[in-house]
């Protein structure tokens, strides 16, 4: 038995040394030599302070900045809760959203389309007046909107049940005046996608330019400069890294408000 056990132990120790020590040390050394920036997380800094990575997206809501894709990772771009909505393309929840106990648990593509159009000044038509869904402070009530998107007769939650049905009481439909890029209203599989499409960035350019008081052409030139071609010219699509673009905005047009 000892005759068989000894070679096995020696082989285990040898492989542990090679694969558990030598291989990681050599690979780490080579990566630090050849690709030091990528090996250390592709980190970006501002004034010497690390503000993020080009590999993981961040939430930007200020009008002075470009906004990333919708994210279902935690509260948004949470690396500890990476994941998608796991809703199929025919899901009513994916399209119309979901409300539980009076709170929005998933916004849905239709609400995202409306918000994207409003944020970026994109024209659209609505099958119902949006004033029906405004709160007292003038903001749109997401809960009522989702109900209207999903329920044929929930266009106005304040309508009395005793009122007769009429042709104007139907599901809320928002139709943008132009096609929207898919990445503007859909999340990625990880919920951490740091990039947006150039088309998405260009639609946001007028809002960013207006908020920063600069010409749209200046913002569009910046988008073109930070547009990355598909890998090897054929893998994937052209993309723009949101964090890198926003940092470039601050350097060129001055810091914006809190992102």
Token pair of 130 as six digits: 């949006």
pLDDT in tens, 158-206: 444 443 343 345 689 999 999 999 999 999 989 999 999 999 999 999 9
Percent of the chain residues past pLDDT 90, beyond the cut: 57
pLDDT at 238 over 50: yes
| Mean pLDDT for the chain overall | 87
Residue 42 near residue 50, CB atoms below 8 Å: no
Q: What is the pLDDT of residue 69?
A: 95
**pLDDT bracket for residue 155 (50, 70, 90):** very low
> Which has more confidence, 40 or 244?
244
pLDDT of 113 above 50: yes
pLDDT in tens, 132-141: 999 999 999 9
Other C-beta atoms lying within 10 Å of the C-beta of residue 172: 26
- Give Cα 14 distance to the centre of its chain: 46
- Mean pLDDT for 142-155 is 77
- Note the pLDDT tens digit of each residue in 25-71: 999 988 989 988 888 888 888 888 888 898 999 999 999 999 999 99
Span 122-146, mean pLDDT? 93
Exposure letters 60-83 (e unless 16+ CB within 10 A, then b):
beebbbbbbbbbbbeebbbeeebe
3-class secondary structure, 185:
coil
**Domain range annotation of the chain:** 2-40, 41-84+194-259, 88-186
Percent of the chain exceeding pLDDT 70 equals 90
């Amino acid at each position: 038995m000892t005759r068989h056990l000894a070679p096995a132990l020696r082989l285990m120790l040898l492989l542990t040394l090679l694969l558990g020590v030598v291989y990681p040390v050599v690979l780490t050394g080579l990566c630090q030599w050849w690709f030091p920036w990528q090996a250390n997380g592709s980190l970006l800094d501002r004034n010497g302070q690390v503000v993020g990575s080009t590999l993981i997206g961040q939430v930007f809501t200020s009008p002075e900045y470009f906004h990333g894709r919708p994210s279902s990772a935690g509260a948004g771009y949470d690396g500890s809760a990476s994941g998608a909505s796991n809703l199929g393309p025919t899901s009513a929840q994916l399209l119309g959203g979901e409300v539980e106990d009076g709170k929005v648990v998933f916004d849905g593509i239709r609400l995202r389309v409306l918000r994207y159009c409003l944020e970026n000044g994109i024209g659209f038509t609505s099958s119902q007046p949006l004033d029906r869904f405004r709160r007292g402070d003038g903001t749109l009530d997401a809960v009522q909107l989702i109900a209207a998107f999903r329920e044929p007769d929930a266009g106005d939650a304040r309508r009395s049940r005793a009122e007769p049905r009429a042709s104007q009481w139907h599901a809320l439909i928002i139709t943008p005046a132009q096609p929207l890029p898919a990445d503007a209203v859909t999340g990625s599989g990880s919920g951490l996608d740091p990039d947006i499409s150039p088309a998405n960035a260009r639609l946001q350019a007028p809002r960013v330019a207006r908020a920063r008081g600069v010409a749209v052409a200046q913002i569009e030139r910046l988008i073109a400069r930070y547009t990355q071609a598909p890998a090897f010219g054929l893998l994937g699509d052209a993309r723009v890294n949101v964090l890198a673009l926003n940092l470039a905005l601050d350097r060129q047009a001055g810091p914006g408000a809190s992102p």
